[in-house]
Chain A
Amino acid sequence: MLNGPQKFREQIDILGKTFGDRIEQVTVPESGRTDVPVVRVAKGSLGGLLSFMKTEPGFEYSYLSDLTATDELTRPRFDLVYSLYSHKHGCRIRVKSGIDEGEAAPTATQIWPGANWAEREVWDMYGIRFSGHPDLRRILMDERWQGHPLRKDYAIRNRQLFESSQPVRPGLLEEKNPGAGTTGDDEDIWDGARTIVNIGVVHPATHGALRIVARLNGETVEKSYLEFGYTHRAKEKLGETKTYHQFIVYTDRLNYCSSLINNTAYAMAVEKLLGVEAPPRAVWIRMICCEISRVIDHLICVGINAVDLGAFSFFLYGYHQREEAYTLIEALCGARLTTSYTRVGGMMYDAPDGWERRVREWADKTRGVVDEMDRLLTGNKIWRKRTEGIGVFDREKCMQYSYSGPNARAAGIDVDLRRDQPCMYYKDIDFDIPLGENGDVFDRYAVRMEEMRESLRIVVQCAEKIKTGPVWCENKMIRIPEKDQANGTMEGLIHHFKIFMTGFEVPPGEAYTTFEAANGELGFYIVSKGGPVAHRMRIRGPSFWHFQGLEAMIRGHKIADVVAALGSINIIAGEIDR
């Protein structure tokens, strides 16, 4: 729960006393330009302020939600943006710092090891260097790429094709301290010899286009590095060129296993900037959609995780139920996967007659299937041996690497944005948040199984509470006219034309909207400078942060367990690469 303006005023007073005039500006939500307080700090004090905020009692913003930049085309040219979240106080804050072209920013990797990849992305996309960063290479684009695509002066169709794929870099797998991994090990039967194995980009166990390069001692992974960007589709750049309405289709293709959740989170983000609210029926439909999507996302995650470890029939049970869910979704919007069902301020269509009843029937049946799957696999000796104690990621590491969602809850971190920062009508719904203990592959599996049952509970409650009513808000500026109005009246036709050709205006401001997606915290950070197109459309995909932890997760494990660990954190390439 956001602790209100009182808390922030106290915090800002303390910051003023501690940092004095190094705090350049504080923007508060009351100004109407932002959703949470924004603290702008001089570049030299950035590192100090961040570590102060992380540890100081009363602040404890120990969770780095997001790290990104914006291109302002003024002096200083770029703004670094750190979105912080305090689990303890349940509040958010943003820290900004201006930085000019050619300057280096201080790295935050000492404060949060998880900042590593985010900083690499900022370097890749904006060309901002971070001093003290351990490994500042390109991350999404090819290493040979020229230019930085998210800069405003980079043309959106400026393509560069290479003859060969990005080479393996064995140098990255060498120990900084030679001999550290080889001496003093009596069981080192390989006499110091090591093999470098490349897994991916095309490999059955990589769940999309990813690459793991590992240095092996026998079968044990000593060190590895991860590579992705093989499905990068420039969605953030597209967000800066398409209107808010046009961008809805691109949100489908983030986490394509649960696109309705992305649709909903995006619609909420734009609605927050506009200051409009969707009507109750639309919100209830969105909630049902989100929970159905969560179930089918988890079904695919646990199913594929089991396939990778040899339990194929388990996957088929779940997959049939997915097909049934797709039938429900098709009834709503005509599409199975890429739904584009929400609109800013409403929904594309109302749900058809009797849909709520079909949802309840599906939920009952799916509960039975989940129970059946549970009986099939959970007690299985082989499954438990392959998953218990494997890929352990404890609370501390989860916090360091900004883990969220089921992967964090498997380690016992009691966080769920549906409860902690309630949006829609989640506070009227009764549901539990399952927690694990050890944070191993088995706990991640068990948490997902339990979450499916909770989601089905939510679905049934929503289907009972939903009432008939409009699915569009009354605001004529953003509401798309009905077809009969567009075809039958002059006013409706003009209005329809305006919305589709030029889009609707969004007032200047910025907001970081989060929602508990199937994988964790999905965030949209939208900066508007007025007009129908966003100035910055940042997407915070949970998989990006989860994948980063894999290197630490698999170190010291056998190569076969890498597959188990990778499957259990549910990596969706569309969400990492964006």
Chain B
Amino acid sequence: MGLNGEQQNKTGQAGFLTTRLEKFIEWGRKNSLWPLPHGTSCCGIEMMSTLAADYDLARFGAEAVRFSPRQADLLIVAGIINLKMAPVLKSVYEQMSDPKWVICMGACASSGGIFDVYSVLQGIDNIIPVDVYIPGCPPAPEGLIHGLMRLQDMVQAGDTHAHRRMRALGMRTWG
């Protein structure tokens, strides 16, 4: 992609960049992810730490937290999803508009974690597609930031569930 510092005019004079529209749009998307924080338990507290001043998720363009699925494109599932919650999570995911991404934070959401019991869904990938899994119980804020950066790479490369789904339907992924 041509949109980086190397090609800028080092003398500070006005220059121009060349890139493909598709890459440019993905670049915009990855730097303005709007998360819907679906925090249910312990991981939700670490997600709050990540959003607060010390770790400051705003540095990655993802501070515009939206609690309405219609306004968000990144679902961060932070914490336990049990069988009573599972249909709720599914309908939240379905209400988000494409392209949409899912980060699965922590062991409970990824696999049920230490809760292999009657009430707990053993991994949210049973009901919705997941792009990035973050291990930990709970993951430290650095873990969430790392997961978000990996997701940014995937969005830039057009290699996410949402992209593949759109391509499979014969849709353009860039609007």
Q: Given that A209-B40, A323-B49, A337-B138 are known contacts, is A154 also in contact with B84, CB under 8 Å in the complex? A: no
Give bound CA distance, A533 to B50, whole Å: 38
Q: Given that A201-B85, A229-B84, A316-B52 are known contacts, is A250 also in contact with B41, CB under 8 Å in the complex? A: no
Q: Given that A208-B40, A233-B117 are known contacts, is A336 also in contact with B140, CB under 8 Å in the complex? A: yes
Tell me whether A9 is interfacial, beta carbon within 8 Å: no
Indicate if the CB atoms of A234 and B120 lie closer than 8 Å. yes
Interface centre among A154, A158, A231, by most chain B C-beta atoms within 10 angstroms, is A231
Q: Which of A184-242 contact B (CB under 8 A)?
A: 201-204, 208-209, 229-234, 237-238
Give bound CA distance, A166 to B48, whole Å: 28
Tell me whether B171 is interfacial, beta carbon within 8 Å: no
Give bound CA distance, A72 to B116, whole Å: 24
User: Which of A162, A300, A574 is B41 in contact with, Cβ under 8 Å?
Assistant: A574
Tell me whether A52 is interfacial, beta carbon within 8 Å: no
User: Which of B48, B79, B91, B119 is A232 in contact with, Cβ under 8 Å?
Assistant: B119
Tell me whether A573 is interfacial, beta carbon within 8 Å: yes
Q: Given that A166-B84, A316-B53 are known contacts, is A231 also in contact with B40, CB under 8 Å in the complex? A: yes
Tell me whether A176 is interfacial, beta carbon within 8 Å: no
Return chain B residues, CB-CB under 8 Å to A31.
Answer: none
Give how many A residues have a beta carbon under 8 Å from the other chain's beta carbons: 50
Give bound CA distance, A161 to B38, whole Å: 20
Return chain B residues, CB-CB under 8 Å to A320.
Answer: 52-54
User: Which of B44, B54, B82, B137 is A233 in contact with, Cβ under 8 Å?
Assistant: B82
Q: Which of B35-77 contact A (CB under 8 A)?
A: 36, 38-42, 44-46, 48-49, 52-54, 67
Give bound CA distance, A204 to B48, whole Å: 12
Return chain B residues, CB-CB under 8 Å to A232.
Answer: 82, 84, 119
Return chain B residues, CB-CB under 8 Å to A249.
Answer: 114
Q: What's the nearest-Cβ distance from chain B to residue A257, in Å?
A: 6
Looking at chain B's contact residues, is the secondary structure mostly helix, strand, loop, or mixed?
loop
Q: What's the nearest-Cβ distance from chain B to residue A264, in Å?
A: 18
Return chain A residues, CB-CB under 8 Å to B87.
Answer: 162-165
Tell me whether A256 is interfacial, beta carbon within 8 Å: yes
**Can you name the residue of chain A whose Cβ is closest to the Cβ of B46?**
A337
**Can you name the residue of chain A whose Cβ is closest to the Cβ of B37?**
A204
Interface centre among B40, B67, B84, B85, by most chain A C-beta atoms within 10 angstroms, is B84
Indicate if the CB atoms of A149 and B137 lie closer than 8 Å. no
User: Which of A162, A204, A209 is B83 in contact with, Cβ under 8 Å?
Assistant: A162
**Can you name the residue of chain B whose Cβ is closest to the Cβ of A316?**
B53
**Can you name the residue of chain B whose Cβ is closest to the Cβ of A238?**
B117
**Can you name the residue of chain B whose Cβ is closest to the Cβ of A161?**
B83
Indicate if the CB atoms of A319 and B42 lie closer than 8 Å. no
**Can you name the residue of chain A whose Cβ is closest to the Cβ of B126?**
A161
Indicate if the CB atoms of A337 and B45 lie closer than 8 Å. yes
Indicate if the CB atoms of B83 and A142 lie closer than 8 Å. yes
Q: Given that A159-B83, A231-B82, A574-B41 are known contacts, is A202 also in contact with B118, CB under 8 Å in the complex? A: no
**Can you name the residue of chain A whose Cβ is closest to the Cβ of B82?**
A232
Tell me whether B157 is interfacial, beta carbon within 8 Å: no
Return chain B residues, CB-CB under 8 Å to A573.
Answer: 40-41
Return chain B residues, CB-CB under 8 Å to A142.
Answer: 83-84
Indicate if the CB atoms of B83 and A233 lie closer than 8 Å. no
Indicate if the CB atoms of A257 and B118 lie closer than 8 Å. no
Taken residue by residue from 84 to 97, chain B's Cβ proximity to chain A (1 for < 8 Å, 0 otherwise) reads as 11111001100000
Indicate if the CB atoms of B117 and A157 lie closer than 8 Å. yes
Tell me whether A40 is interfacial, beta carbon within 8 Å: no
Give bound CA distance, A123 to B67, whole Å: 34
Return chain A residues, CB-CB under 8 Å to B120.
Answer: 233-234
Q: What's the nearest-Cβ distance from chain A to residue B165, in Å?
A: 22
Q: Which of A326-351 contact B (CB under 8 A)?
A: 326, 336-338
**Can you name the residue of chain A whose Cβ is closest to the Cβ of B115?**
A233
Indicate if the CB atoms of B83 and A237 lie closer than 8 Å. no
Tell me whether A566 is interfacial, beta carbon within 8 Å: no
Interface centre among B87, B88, B118, by most chain A C-beta atoms within 10 angstroms, is B118
30 example contacts (A-B, Cβ-Cβ < 8 A) are as follows A141-B119, A154-B118, A157-B117, A158-B118, A162-B83, A162-B84, A201-B85, A201-B88, A202-B38, A202-B92, A208-B39, A230-B82, A231-B82, A232-B82, A232-B84, A233-B117, A234-B118, A234-B120, A250-B114, A253-B42, A256-B41, A256-B42, A316-B52, A319-B48, A323-B54, A326-B49, A336-B46, A336-B140, A337-B42, A573-B40
Chain A contacts to B: CB under 8 angstroms: 140-142, 149, 154-166, 201-204, 208-209, 229-234, 237-238, 249-250, 252-253, 256-257, 300, 315-316, 319-320, 322-323, 326, 336-338, 573-574
A-B complex: 6 closest residue pairs judged by Cβ atoms: A234-B117, A256-B42, A319-B52, A165-B87, A230-B85, A204-B67
Known: A161-B83, A208-B44, A256-B45. 4 other contacts (CB 8 A): A149-B118, A232-B82, A320-B52, A338-B42
